[in-house]
Amino acid sequence: MRTRTCKAAAVLMGLLLLGAAAQAQNYQITGHVNTLASTFAPGPREDQNHVDHFSWYDRPEARVVQSLSEFSSVSNGGYGRASLSAGMGELRALSQSYYPSGLPEPHYYGYSFGTAQATFADTVRVEGAGLAVGTPVRYQLHLWIDGSISSPSFEIGGHLSADGLAEMQLIDRTNNQRQSLSWDIKRHSTGWYSIALDTVVGHDLMVTGMLYASASVDSSATLARYAESDFSHTARYFLQPSLAQLNTVGASGHDFNISLVPEPSAAWLLLAGLAVLGLLRGRRQPR
């Protein structure tokens, strides 16, 4: 399921970017939730599946946070839940799943899952600071991500799983140069992540982000009966240009400037860390 979802995310983002290239300035948010609970036995089969989605492209709806929430359940108590919110520069997602064991009486057989995926894309014009068109500059895109998945997060045979994934991209729409980062809760810690792209004044930068949460359990699972992927805290995206006066406002009207981080202490730690890295690099240069 995870592989298919990652491929779907890539296709979704690709379609978004192809559509965005057709016009001078574009912005978009998308959201998709899918929940299911199913029982095969004992008794008659039960299935409950709820799906919902949105995709707002160059519309006023994309300028404000949009949310989705779905819940599916069956009579033996099995359920799948998924919720999300998507806005420019801020994504949230939560998935939960529970299913009773098929081993003791009455030998339930079935499964449940919940998945949630949110994306955004915005276009930032490289301009400002009184610089002439063609002047080289650099933009950094920072991701702050906080969340968790239940443990254990996987059982051999796929009887239980929980996943949390995130992505970010900086794309120069004029020359198609890009930088990207893929984040996985099973391989990376939460906190700050950054990518950087060299561009020039007069170009357009596309800023994109994706957040995905999934949880699933079936009646054959032995390690646990419940799985959760909780990224309802936040995934936030910020821009930091090489000169403070450079533009960080997207076509949507959202300002991605790092100085607007809601948690001042977190922003201070990020900027202090970047300053230390710069100092260390300077010391390594031969004299």
Contacts of 268 (CB under 8 A, 6+ apart): none
For residue 136, say if its preceding peptide bond is cis, omega within 30 degrees of 0. no
Q: Is the pLDDT of residue 267 over 90?
A: no
Write out pLDDT tens, residues 36-65.
999 998 888 999 999 999 999 999 999 999
Please give the Cα distance from 64 to 203 (Å, whole number): 26
pLDDT of 235: 95
pLDDT of amino acid 270: 53
Q: What is the pLDDT of residues 145-189, one digit of tens each?
A: 999 999 999 999 999 999 999 999 999 999 999 999 999 999 999
53, 184, 19, 241: CA torsion to nearest 10? 120
Q: Which two tokens stand for residue 57?
A: 């492209």
CA distances from 157 to 38, 122, 164 (A): 18, 40, 19
The C-alpha atoms of residue 83 and residue 213 are separated, in whole angstroms, by: 9
What integer pLDDT is reported at residue 285 of this predicted model? Answer: 42
What is the spatial distance between Cα 20 and Cα 28, in angstroms, rounded to a whole number? 9
Of the chain, the percentage scoring pLDDT greater than 90 comes to: 76
Which residues are CB-neighbours of 189 under 8 A, at least 6 positions away?
none
- From CA 198, how far away is CA 182, in angstroms rounded? 20
